[in-house]
Structure 1
């Protein structure tokens, strides 16, 4: 009895914490929603801050599992799909209509049209804790972040100082003659430092570190190179060889298709089959005298905007990477230390997807140290690592997946990963039953502005 009373008091205290209490730590908070437990847990690092019961999507309107972030916050919102249903303390997770919000009906089972419903007092408290960009992990089975140690994880670097390396040194010529003719003086200056790209003038490393404290956390996705990245490389090489592709935009327009066909005829390659076959790629890179690029791609966003991207290597690319999520806190640039947390999410890839990605062996999310071992397989160029480690702040996150950018990732979002669970026998049976007729309001919703459930 005493244990239950203590738990209830702890929960009440957690849900009544003010926004001010989390003003400094909001960027390190992450929310994990467990669909099997119908529960929500707020973590600051690996410490539980608050918990609540929730109601996720019901049959026919399931809540997607995956890695999300808060895109928009409104104290009051009305659904433009379901009869202007009130949705107080709304925190949007996707532009297609999934959100966290208050509801008067939060039973201990799935009952929503896709959103995550929360009790009123908790919904308000959570709204006050979070800020845009906070991560929300929705998963089928309950999971908790764990501290991760790996020599391959990013670690903060001391920012380089701006200005001359020796500002107090009096300049003089190398000649001992005392003539008055003008002379040229060579000076060592600091190379471009991405952490100092803001207008503020920074004169020492300590000031640089302080200036970075308010920078938005980085959002990093490491995945396999998609056909778009490969096609962009192909377009550049073809242009260097004298073919006209119409630019290097990663889209197979008429000029690009004509250029690829022309190269295939030149090298006596078959014109049948996919546009970019392994034989075509091998011949193209060999002709250009260039090595084929690594199998992976790293993409970096900040403040919901693309920052940069680059190729990265993947060890044993025939083995699936799996889906993993990392966050960092306690970032100390002056000491070059930080602490990482990670979780692994089950994500069942279809046979067709595995074949398209060249994956022969599926990942095992339950393998020991699966999270850290996934990061250890990534080979990141030194210049890209330096840039990230100079820019990283508390709350910086890394997602690793196989499938690349999902349909929910777009303009004004962080990287969204939708995961797929292994269907059970009962689910497989249900999938062949007669489908329910589509409600007229649902059909109209496809042509209306994006709304919330």
Structure 2
């Protein structure tokens, strides 16, 4: 209780715009930064906990827009790019160098890409957040609104544990001349690699929040299918990872020789894919992919249905709160971010050039999620779980030690063709997929 009171007082002292509404738990907090009006609003569901002025990236060092989460926290940090500049109460959003931190906050964008926060607000917010809390950075102001939909997951009661003893007749293998009871040892049933731990979840304990992403299937997903099917058929395509490495290419070449398919040209031809799906006895997958992470690690992914694929989904973010496993209910909130697709991206995705993005409700209407997947997610759903629905696949910032990071672009951002001349050093942007600890922040 004292912690909650301190949080409310700290937010009030940080800015005249703060509200006295107190957050109940850190997992349900959501931080929204508006670059248009240089403000930060902290929500618990749709309740405003507090607001503050901020300063985002100036021209040439623009703060990226999108959906992030807090990856790392340090009370004191120094930039290893910009002359060891102090960055107190740092909360990292990307491994390539974007963070929330205390700093000078004028009434305009002035940072080198990070989001600067006034001192008192930065300190108090640091004390209330934890790794995994969502941060949305938008070009325009967005507000989470309550939403109800059949395709938003609901928590399920934990499944009963398997019986310890089977119903087979027990008998000793060695005869003994004694009336004392026998002690019987039994092997537990083996668990398949993809079994969840749902049976160990009690009604009182919730697992860590799930972070879910629904996107259009892309070449990575197709390669994952190809690798799995080739391995099933006896071709060694290596561990399925969605990358067309040397082992995967060799296995594809071997399959093409077996089926007398053309060896040259494109690696994944439609003729090859049709033949491989037939050989494996599989139907072609639907148009979308659901991916699930927990504690910054992949849990599972599976194809799901998407109707009218020629219409853009848009980019929508849904968060769960008031998760009641006993009564199998949850409250969801939604917000929509502007995300402009280029003509070449629309063409690659098979989207009509003049088609408008779906609203959040329309996007959910178009999804077909199998019941077994819904049940699996329902048994793990907890406070602070989230779902992102977007047309684009995994961005360059999503990787080891992150949740799903979705970058978005407004029409103004798309129009920018090159940074201002004075921007440097460029090498910090050269390898965004390295995901190393200690990458310089600014």
TM-score range relative to shorter protein: 0.7 to 0.9
In the aligned structure 1, how far is the partner of 2:127 from the partner of 2:15?
A: 10
Q: Is 1:150 matched up with 2:142?
A: no
Q: Is 1:100 matched up with 2:105?
A: no
What residue is the counterpart of 1:86 in the other structure? 86
Matched ranges for 1:359-374 at <5 A: 359-360=351-352, 364-365=356-357, 370-374=359-363
Deviation at 1:135, TM superposition (A): 0.4
Deviation at 1:403, TM superposition (A): 1.5
In the aligned structure 1, how far is the partner of 2:72 from the partner of 2:66?
A: 18
TM-score where L is the length of structure 2: 0.82
TM-score where L is the length of structure 1: 0.80
In the aligned structure 2, how far is the partner of 1:301 from the partner of 1:56?
A: 29
CA deviation profile, 1:127-184 (whole Å, cap 9, x unmatched): 1221111100000000100001111211111222335599xxxx999xxxxxx9x9xx
Deviation at 1:241, TM superposition (A): 3.9
Query: Alignment partner for residue 197 of structure 2, among 194, 199, 221?
Result: 194
**Structure 1 443/278 Cα, relative in aligned 2: closer, same or farther at 3 Å?**
closer
In the aligned structure 2, how far is the partner of 1:311 from the partner of 1:85?
A: 45
Deviation at 1:271, TM superposition (A): 4.1
Q: Is 1:28 matched up with 2:28?
A: yes
Deviation at 1:31, TM superposition (A): 0.6
In the aligned structure 2, how far is the partner of 1:444 from the partner of 1:11?
A: 34
In the aligned structure 2, how far is the partner of 1:347 from the partner of 1:72?
A: 27
Deviation at 1:418, TM superposition (A): 0.5
Farther-moved stretch of structure 1 (235-244 vs 384-393): 235-244
Q: Is the 8 A contact 1:321 1:363 kept in 2?
A: no
RMSD: 3.3
Q: Is the 8 A contact 2:155 2:379 kept in 1?
A: yes
**Structure 1 61/437 Cα, relative in aligned 2: closer, same or farther at 3 Å?**
closer
Q: Give the unaligned 5+ runs of structure 1.
A: 1-8, 174-179, 183-188, 199-207
Matched ranges for 1:263-274 at <5 A: 263-264=255-256, 267=259, 269-274=261-266
Query: Alignment partner for residue 277 of structure 1, among 269, 284, 293?
Result: 269
Number of aligned residues: 405
In the aligned structure 1, how far is the partner of 2:418 from the partner of 2:89?
A: 38
Query: Alignment partner for residue 319 of structure 1, among 284, 290, 311?
Result: 311
Aligned with 1:160: secondary structure? coil
Aligned with 2:205: secondary structure? helix
Aligned with 1:245: secondary structure? coil
Deviation at 1:13, TM superposition (A): 6.1
Query: Alignment partner for residue 211 of structure 1, among 161, 180, 205?
Result: 205
Query: Alignment partner for residue 421 of structure 2, among 428, 432, 436?
Result: 436
Aligned with 2:211: secondary structure? strand
In the aligned structure 1, how far is the partner of 2:263 from the partner of 2:95?
A: 40
Query: Alignment partner for residue 229 of structure 1, among 217, 221, 236?
Result: 221
**Structure 1 363/89 Cα, relative in aligned 2: closer, same or farther at 3 Å?**
farther
Q: Is 1:380 matched up with 2:369?
A: yes
What residue is the counterpart of 2:175 in the other structure? none
Farther-moved stretch of structure 1 (288-297 vs 217-226): 288-297
**Structure 1 363/127 Cα, relative in aligned 2: closer, same or farther at 3 Å?**
farther
Deviation at 1:73, TM superposition (A): 1.1
